[in-house]
Amino acid sequence: MANIYSENWYLRKHDDGSIFGPVPFSKLQEWARSAQISPHDMVSEDQVVWNKAPMIPELNMDYLVQVTDDVYYGPSTEQAVMEFYKLGEISSSTLVINCVTGDVRPLEDWHFFPAEARSAKKTDEDVTIESLHNRVRDLERNLLEYHRRFMSVEEQVRRLERRLQALEGGES
């Protein structure tokens, strides 16, 4: 059982190995609820022994999302699953599995799916279109960032070339 009273918890991100902490366990719970901890991220109290985040029961990363017939995401928290829904990455009919109880139901049948969302159900086509719009927006944002970096590197190359020319001119 995790020491949820400890103020010295660390999060190691799977994608780049960056480490965050020390933070209180309540901060880890907050990050898990807001989908900032992925199922592959690791947590530790001492930076020696690391556990996959979903293995800590108190983080409540109990839900597995069936993205396609053979692709699953998770386990993650109820709030993270709903965040995926709000972002249009899954629909109300997407199957969600509770890893603790083994229950398998469409998202709309889980207790955490809001009643007002049931009446405004998104179709799979709506979800696909919204997901594509989000992906395009993300790609455009990445392209702008890469362009900014390219321009910065290009300017640095010009400065180095001028410096090299100046140095070569001094050797003649």
| pLDDT tens, residue by residue, 130-157 | 777 777 778 888 888 888 888 888 889 9
Distance CA 67, CA 13 (A): 22
pLDDT at 136: 78
Q: Confidence class of residue 112 from pLDDT cuts 50, 70 and 90?
A: very high
Distance CA 47, CA 7 (A): 13
Supply 121's token pair: 């159900």
CA angle at 61 for the pair 113 and 132, rounded to the nearest 5°? 60
- pLDDT(100) > 80: yes
- pLDDT(91) > 80: yes
Range among 3-7, 20-24, 139-143 rated most confident: 20-24
Task: Give the chain's mean pLDDT.
Answer: 88
